[in-house]
Amino acid sequence: MIRALPSRDEILAILDDVKDPEIPVVSVVELGIVRDVGVTADGVVVTITPTYSGCPAMREIEADIASALADHGIAPVEIRTTYSPAWTTDWISRDARDKLEAYGIAPPGPAEPSELVSLTRRTPSLRCPYCQSLATERKSEFGSTACKAIWFCRSCRQPFEQFKPL
């Protein structure tokens, strides 16, 4: 099939349908994983960045991006990975934050300033995504995936996850 070169916006719209494999309510664009899209006569280049160095979903995300574009007849596609600047939760869009909360994952607050690590920092309480109570406590800074922490709501007695600020 021969078709006109797709525009950058057209590609971004397609990629907005590629969901994060671990959190299928938000897209790789909304999460800030897609950093750049380039269109040349030779094909399309999509640049992505991992959330965490060891994120095991990266290969799957690459495959999902390639197949979504292929479904729209867009080829060849080159996927590049960049590590700089380092991904931050501050790139997650407003919309995506609402979707995360509706899905039961508390969205991240602002990323920490890059100062010396405070070992005594008090954790501000987080709003429970199920009952909106602020009577919550952090159980662990590490959760079911690298990007999440485990919390517990004392009001509705429900454990929940937080997309942790990074």
User: Dmax of the chain from CA atoms?
Assistant: 61
**What is the strand order of the sheet 148-153 is part of?**
105-106, 158-163, 148-153, 136-140
Interactions with other proteins, residue window 13-72 (CB under 8 A): 50, 52-56
Q: How far is the CB of 30 from other proteins (least distance, A)?
A: 20
Candidates 63, 137, 142, 154: give the one binding other proteins (CB under 8 A).
142
Q: Segment near other proteins (CB under 8 A), from 21-29, 32-40, 67-75, 79-87? A: 79-87
Q: How far is the CB of 120 from other proteins (least distance, A)?
A: 9
Interaction between residue 110 and other proteins (CB under 8 A): no
Please provide residue 99's backbone torsions phi and psi, each rounded to the nearest 5 degrees: -65, -40
Number of other residues whose CB lies within 10 A of the CB of residue 21: 16
Residue 46 near residue 78, CB atoms below 8 Å: yes
For other proteins, the closer CB: 26 or 87: 87
Number of other residues whose CB lies within 10 A of the CB of residue 81: 11
Candidates 25, 39, 131, 146: give the one binding other proteins (CB under 8 A).
146
DSSP 8-class letter at 19 = B
Q: Enumerate binding residues for other proteins (CB under 8 A).
A: 50, 52-56, 82-88, 112, 114, 116-119, 121, 139-144, 146, 150, 164, 166
